[in-house]
């Protein structure tokens, strides 16, 4: 059977040209902070001599190079070998160290899953896994688009799962997960990372969902970069006299069930879960199941990536195409109201 190949693009239509592996998620003019994970880890490691850094040939691309420069003797380059990376991280943790192991989300969740499952989670080893390119944050195509990472790590016993929104949250989660004893999977935004939550006086606390803004018409429950999209969409919606609340849920597991049930149970609001993740098995389905079990039945909608292999292309194009850009978030919510 012949493989089916896409048809060539039509001429003449202007289009964005960046389908790069690493693309910035910052919108034009947005405030950013460089390498929040790398800087926060260096700060942490000054006082915590048990911290070691490990990577599989992606030190520069996970901001771990800052740690490597500051603490070269505490940095382990494991080569392009993710299974080894996590097995060795387990071994270092067994000897009392706290490895921060970095790679791309696709490689941790898909290639090394059994190693993380068996050598880290099953043995409850104190390894912090920080992964760049979560969800749809690369224009490179499915090889680098980790649309299912949250579903995979949510399903793993003992694993704490975090989807941070911005530079502030990443800075704050590094010391917070160091205090927590046990394995953690944290999605990582790297490079020039948008800074948003400082305007809201936000503070990250492990396991806690936080109301970033209140509103009476729609409750957007979101994680990761979708919280900044939700906040921007809320401003757009306000112009159309739609009052949107945003509940930020950075800890996907364990879920802050109390806060979610309290806010979703208030009634009178459309509940929308927005996530940078496939519609299968992420925050949306976690919240839906929680509400069903609790007998709370608001009108419920999901904004998430479709259950398909996503296209290569420029990120703004793809975020529009799959409904997770600010304008698409606002448009869908208006349509549902």
Kindly list the catalytic residues. Answer: 82
By CB under 8 A, name the one of 61, 67, 86, 153 that touches other proteins. Answer: 86
| Least Cβ distance, residue 83 to other proteins (angstroms) | 4
Do the beta carbons of residue 162 and residue 7 sit within 8 Å? no
Question: Interface with other proteins by CB under 8 A: which range of 84-92, 206-214, 285-293, 319-327?
Answer: 84-92
Cα(269)–Cα(64) distance, rounded to whole angstroms? 42
| Least Cβ distance, residue 103 to other proteins (angstroms) | 13
Q: How many CA atoms lie within 13 A of 251 on its CB side?
A: 23
Residues 14-53 within binding reach of other proteins (CB under 8 A) = 52
Residue 214: Cβ within 10 Å count? 12
Nearer to other proteins, 58 or 197 (CB): 58
Cα(153)–Cα(182) distance, rounded to whole angstroms? 14
70 contacts other proteins (rule: CB under 8 A) = no
SS3 at position 256: coil
Do the beta carbons of residue 182 and residue 120 sit within 8 Å? no
By CB under 8 A, name the one of 51, 64, 92, 286 that touches other proteins. Answer: 92
170 contacts other proteins (rule: CB under 8 A) = no
Can you name the residues that pair with 75 across neighbouring β-strands?
Answer: 53
Nearer to other proteins, 115 or 322 (CB): 115
Question: Residue 161 is encoded by which pair of tokens?
Answer: 């799962």
Can you name the residues that pair with 211 across neighbouring β-strands?
Answer: 247
By CB under 8 A, name the one of 36, 38, 59, 87 that touches other proteins. Answer: 87
| Least Cβ distance, residue 50 to other proteins (angstroms) | 10
By CB under 8 A, name the one of 76, 180, 262, 270 that touches other proteins. Answer: 76
Instruction: Enter the DSSP assignment of 135.
Output: B
Nearer to other proteins, 59 or 191 (CB): 59
| Least Cβ distance, residue 118 to other proteins (angstroms) | 5
57 contacts other proteins (rule: CB under 8 A) = no
| Least Cβ distance, residue 119 to other proteins (angstroms) | 6
Residues 99-158 within binding reach of other proteins (CB under 8 A) = 99, 114-115, 118-119, 122-124
State the number of binding residues for other proteins (CB under 8 A).
Answer: 27
Cα(206)–Cα(256) distance, rounded to whole angstroms? 9
Question: Interface with other proteins by CB under 8 A: which range of 77-85, 171-179, 181-189, 282-290?
Answer: 77-85
Question: Interface with other proteins by CB under 8 A: which range of 11-19, 72-80, 165-173, 247-255?
Answer: 72-80
Instruction: Enter the DSSP assignment of 200.
Output: G
Question: Residue 51 is encoded by which pair of tokens?
Answer: 């911290």
Cα(120)–Cα(240) distance, rounded to whole angstroms? 49
Cα(37)–Cα(35) distance, rounded to whole angstroms? 6
By CB under 8 A, name the one of 20, 22, 44, 81 that touches other proteins. Answer: 81
* Residue 317: partners with Cβ closer than 8 Å, 6 or more residues away: 15, 16
Question: Interface with other proteins by CB under 8 A: which range of 23-31, 85-93, 174-182, 296-304?
Answer: 85-93
By CB under 8 A, name the one of 1, 14, 15, 95 that touches other proteins. Answer: 95
Cα(37)–Cα(107) distance, rounded to whole angstroms? 19
Q: What letters, b where the CB count within 10 A reaches 16 and e where it falls short, cover 256-293?
A: beebbbebbeeeebbbbbbbbbbbebbbbbbbeeebee
SS3 at position 313: coil
Interaction site with other proteins (CB under 8 A): 52, 76, 78-79, 81, 83-84, 86-97, 99, 114-115, 118-119, 122-124
């Amino acid at each position: 059977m012949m493989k089916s190949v896409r048809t060539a693009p039509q001429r003449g239509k202007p289009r964005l040209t960046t389908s790069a592996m690493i693309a910035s998620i910052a919108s034009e003019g947005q405030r950013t902070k460089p390498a929040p994970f790398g800087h926060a880890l260096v700060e942490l490691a000054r006082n915590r001599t048990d911290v070691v850094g490990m990577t599989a040939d992606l030190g520069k691309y996970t901001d771990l190079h800052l740690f490597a420069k500051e603490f070269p003797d505490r940095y382990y380059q494991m080569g392009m070998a993710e299974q080894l990376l996590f097995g060795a991280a387990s071994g270092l943790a067994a000897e009392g160290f706290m490895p921060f192991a970095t790679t791309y989300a696709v490689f941790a969740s898909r290639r090394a899953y059994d190693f993380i499952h068996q050598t880290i989670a099953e043995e409850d080893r104190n390894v912090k896994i920080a992964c760049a390119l979560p969800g749809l944050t690369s224009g490179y195509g499915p090889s680098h688009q980790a649309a299912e990472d949250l579903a995979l790590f949510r399903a793993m016993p003992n694993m704490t799962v975090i989807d941070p929104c911005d530079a502030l949250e990443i800075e704050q989660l590094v010391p917070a997960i160091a205090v927590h004893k046990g394995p953690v999977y944290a999605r990582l935004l790297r490079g020039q990372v948008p800074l948003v939550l400082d305007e809201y006086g936000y503070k990250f606390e492990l396991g806690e969902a936080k109301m970033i803004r209140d509103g009476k018409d729609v409750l957007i429950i979101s994680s990761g970069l979708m919280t900044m999209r939700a906040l921007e969409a809320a401003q757009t919606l306000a112009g159309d006299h739609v009052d949107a609340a945003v509940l930020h849920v950075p800890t996907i597991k364990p879920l802050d069930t109390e806060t979610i049930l309290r806010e979703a149970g208030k009634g009178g609001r459309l509940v929308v879960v927005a996530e940078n993740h496939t519609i299968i098995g992420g925050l949306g389905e976690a919240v839906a199941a929680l509400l069903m079990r609790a007998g709370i039945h608001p009108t419920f909608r999901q904004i998430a990536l479709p259950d398909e292999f996503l296209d290569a292309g420029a990120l703004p194009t793809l975020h529009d195409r799959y409904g997770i850009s600010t304008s698409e978030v606002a448009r869908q919510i208006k349509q549902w109201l």
